[in-house]
């Protein structure tokens, strides 16, 4: 089921399937005329996803769908603690492929679970923020919230 929510991070589309979060994507979306009616379990999961987007720390059931490499990268991202960052090269080395920084970046760009799989915690080797699928302004906002970069 697809849902649309307004959050402090901006409008977001959330897809839930079989009790798991399948996708969380930011951007301008057409708000559905009616949100689907849901059972209590789905309602609670949807509220938990929104709470995480607003800054709460809740472990959620995620449905990761991708290539074996993408899954490996995304699982590594889940192990980066809140308030810390890694470079693309550090992640590549951690995964046993020290020359695969660009492949890590490509896997990050393919992530369908914004914020929940924290691609925003990956930066360039030189410490610059570099790219983010949903824009550098959102990446800065997320890293400020996690106190990685100072508020301006």
What pLDDT, in 10s, does the model give residues 119-148? 999 999 999 999 899 999 999 999 999 988
Residue 119 falls in the annotated catalytic set: yes
CA neighbor of 24 nearest in space, from 41, 56, 57, 48:
48
- Do residues 140 and 76 both lie within one domain? yes
d(CA 53, CA 94): 27
Q: Which domain holds residue 89?
A: 68-145
* Token pair listed for 143: 């890293």
pLDDT of residue 38: 77
Q: How confident is the model at residue 27 (pLDDT cuts 50, 70, 90)?
A: confident
- Do residues 49 and 73 both lie within one domain? no
Q: Which of 23, 24, 52, 119 is catalytic?
A: 119
Evaluated on CA atoms 119, 74, 53, 35, the torsion sign reads positive
- Do residues 27 and 77 both lie within one domain? no
Q: What pTM was estimated for this model as a whole?
A: 0.90
- Do residues 129 and 83 both lie within one domain? yes
d(CA 103, CA 82): 23
pLDDT at 35 over 70: no
For 32-41, 53-62, 136-145, which range has the lowest pLDDT when averaged over its residues?
Answer: 32-41
- Do residues 75 and 135 both lie within one domain? yes
Mean pLDDT of 38-50: 92
**Pairing assessment for the beta strands 86-87 and 122-123 based on DSSP bridges:** parallel
- Do residues 76 and 11 both lie within one domain? no
């Amino acid at each position: 089921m697809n849902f649309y929510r307004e959050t402090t991070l901006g409008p977001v589309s959330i897809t839930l399937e079989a009790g798991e979060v399948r996708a969380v994507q930011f951007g301008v979306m057409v708000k559905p005329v009616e949100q689907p009616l849901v059972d209590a379990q789905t309602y609670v999961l949807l509220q938990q996803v929104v709470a995480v987007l607003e800054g709460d720390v809740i472990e959620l059931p995620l449905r990761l769908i991708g290539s074996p490499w993408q899954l490996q990268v995304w699982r590594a991202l889940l192990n980066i603690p809140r308030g810390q960052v890694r470079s693309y090269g550090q992640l590549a080395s951690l995964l046993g492929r020290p020359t695969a920084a660009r492949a890590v970046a490509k896997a990050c760009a393919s992530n369908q679970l914004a914020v929940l799989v924290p691609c925003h915690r990956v930066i360039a080797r030189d410490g610059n923020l570099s790219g983010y699928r949903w824009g550098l302004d959102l990446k800065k906002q997320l890293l400020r919230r996690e106190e990685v970069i100072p508020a301006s």
